[in-house]
Structure 1
């Protein structure tokens, strides 16, 4: 032993290949593939459909009491937390639409450039092997010169609507014919239209508005979002002979600085449009705070005898000299309620469930009173020191016109997207991209035409066309 180790020396271990990390190129490709995936598109369309269903089933933008009455207080609290009372303006619905835009744009970015390059690229310089590897291909001997066959072939393609390119080289002639490339563009146009429609919807959602106004004939209302006034000149209802409603109409005038700028009679589906704001005829009904006329019975208190029945017009005083009375109607509520805190009478609903009018009475020089008269409870109150008893026996409510007031700055964008999708689907459905290559090479007894073609749709029709083309080439004889 010499003190040295007798261990067998080993060869140095080969370095282990390092596993490359996920670089930016790989990450970007994965990201593009994810956002362009069909699975993501299906997921987004599914959840948008579910959301739209919720927004359709649950009324949007109603008052709290409407939801509480229909669904209960606990359900209303959850509606507020989840945004179900205003689905289309929630952050999560906007996010779904944003992701749909990203998905559509990514698909367009991933697929359209190759189509565009295909449209712009010179396809004449192909090899014989390329033609022979096409699904549709044939070799046709023709007893003629290559120049004559090439000329006849070009003329035939032109007559069939093809765009033709030809290349004459020593020993061969190459002919390339193509048509229907817009069919490829159409599919991508339809794809891109979804983004345009969604962007138009978002533009209208965030920068537009939709409101409902109850308006009375002869009244003028200020439109703050348009900085002008709107006067309801007239409202009327047309009836069929059987008494059913035929149409309801409003004549509206737009005022700016007291000057009339536009006047139009609107009906359902025929709105007034001014400065981008649309006024639709939406509904009509009986006003809950005004009447045209109220019929009052005046009875002698001691005998309960009806002395006179009069019709009082809204807020117009009427003098009865024989009874030494002056009467007028100053207020009306369709469904009487009283706020004890504010000491105020109001209509708790718009339904004419418990109608009442406020009657102002001047009886001689001794009695002045302002009682509420109830149609359903005529003897509810007695007027002190008066010789008369008053009762409400009927009334004619004023009709209101319900106007839907809306502005949607994205509507033109949406219509552009709709046009794109119609044009895109039409192009994609009825125009098919077809490409045919032919190489004409000399042969011992003339030339041989090596021909092949492809189509991206309607393969059966293309097979028939290709077969007819081969039969036509056989006729190109000298």
Structure 2
């Protein structure tokens, strides 16, 4: 049992885990994450089954990755506990490191030993006098710098693990006047307005969501959200992530009676069951033009020359494609199909990360550990009637 425990907390095992975590991170960066399993099987015929089996399609939330992180936390904690007793022992006043044989002797015939010892005291050295010599020490607590640094790393990783497992996250789309309710948190968020800012060349520079938060029908907060300026409420961060166009779809019969009325976004389709008809909205193009290859594109998001690109399928068989203006109707058998009232919608993602404060605390501990390790490193001086021997990891003059 002790053999396995020693390996579990060994530097060798820690390096192995670190390499595995690095490889997982590379996979999670290179391989698109969070898509349906069928997509991986289709696009990666040789490795698709392996990707799905090892959860490489959801690397950071996979059981395997979480287990590796747990072992890494255990290993790092074990390594810290292994070195901590020795560090605490060296912090005691009774400890004084051995003097290297080739240490530089700073004493010369003009040196006044008593004045030198007084200068050490002024520089906050502790002096321990022996019969024929003295030992000066400073920053003994610097020995625990590596352990404090390890503790900071452990807390950061633990915070990331907690956030990964328990974080509340999601996304939603709203058009002006729509509401998103968070029942468990006891509030709702209403989109008052959404608009774009444009550069001189009409490209989109920024997009803004003006929102109001209500609790029990009482307005509690108004805020404007844009990219890199999220809204924080009750520990939940709301981020402006994307935008798009939603459009009214109308299907009428020959008597001009409305058979269906609803909203549809770019890239979505609607299935008209009575006619076995798929109505696919390829996209809304507010400033429409065509490429040399005949593909519809928009020059900007300003409504200057609006058109829709639509395709119809019956029983999965392609029927035809259409480029139509808002309000223009497509006639198919005994029905007409119409798209109109293009409206911008905002895409907002939200996340409540329970590990945030752990990561913040761990970062502070890590910084403290690095400061202790590299600034408050232990310094010793052996002093006798004809010797001044500094013992430090730095040069002989680093005794301020």
TM-score class, shorter:
0.7 to 0.9
Q: What is the deviation of 1:49?
A: 1.1
Partners of 2:194 and 2:207 within 8 A in 1: yes
Bigger Cα Rg: 1
- In structure 2, the gaps of 5 or more residues are 285-307, 313-320
What is the alpha-carbon distance in structure 2 between the residues aligned to residue 183 and residue 350 of structure 1?
A: 64
Aligned-partner SS, 1:212: strand
What is the alpha-carbon distance in structure 2 between the residues aligned to residue 344 and residue 197 of structure 1?
A: 55
Q: Structure 1 residue aligned with 2:380, among 423, 435, 441?
A: 435
Partners of 1:36 and 1:106 within 8 A in 2: yes
Q: What is the deviation of 1:201?
A: 0.8
Q: What is the deviation of 1:345?
A: 7.0
Aligned-partner SS, 1:120: coil
- Aligned residue in 1 for 2:93: 121
Give the TM-score of the pair, scaled to structure 2. 0.76
Is 2:9 the partner of 1:47? no
- Aligned residue in 2 for 1:156: 119
Q: 1:269 to 1:417 in 2, by over 3 A?
A: same
Q: How many residues align?
A: 362
Partners of 1:336 and 1:356 within 8 A in 2: no
Q: Deviations over 1:340-371 (max 9, x none)?
A: 5x9887766775585489xxxxxxxxxxxxxx
- 1:347-362 matches, within 5 Å, as 351=283, 355=310
- Aligned residue in 2 for 1:276: 235
Q: Deviations over 1:396-435 (max 9, x none)?
A: 5211111111010101111222233233234433443221
Is 2:326 the partner of 1:381? no
- Aligned residue in 2 for 1:20: none
Q: 1:337 to 1:112 in 2, by over 3 A?
A: same
Q: What is the deviation of 1:224?
A: 4.2
Q: Deviations over 1:20-63 (max 9, x none)?
A: xxxxxxx63x4554234332222111111111122222333334
- 1:153-192 matches, within 5 Å, as 153-159=116-122, 161-167=123-129, 172-192=131-151
- Aligned residue in 1 for 2:297: none
Aligned-partner SS, 2:349: strand
What is the alpha-carbon distance in structure 1 between the residues aligned to residue 398 and residue 216 of structure 2?
A: 71
Q: Deviations over 1:161-201 (max 9, x none)?
A: 24222336xxx354221224454332222222221111001
Partners of 1:339 and 1:345 within 8 A in 2: yes
- Aligned residue in 1 for 2:10: 37
Partners of 2:163 and 2:353 within 8 A in 1: yes
- In structure 1, the gaps of 5 or more residues are 1-26, 295-313, 316-323, 358-373, 385-389, 440-447, 467-478
Q: What is the deviation of 1:395?
A: 4.0
Q: 1:248 to 1:329 in 2, by over 3 A?
A: farther
Q: 1:410 to 1:46 in 2, by over 3 A?
A: same
Q: Deviations over 1:97-141 (max 9, x none)?
A: 1111112111211112222222233348x9xxx66x654265968
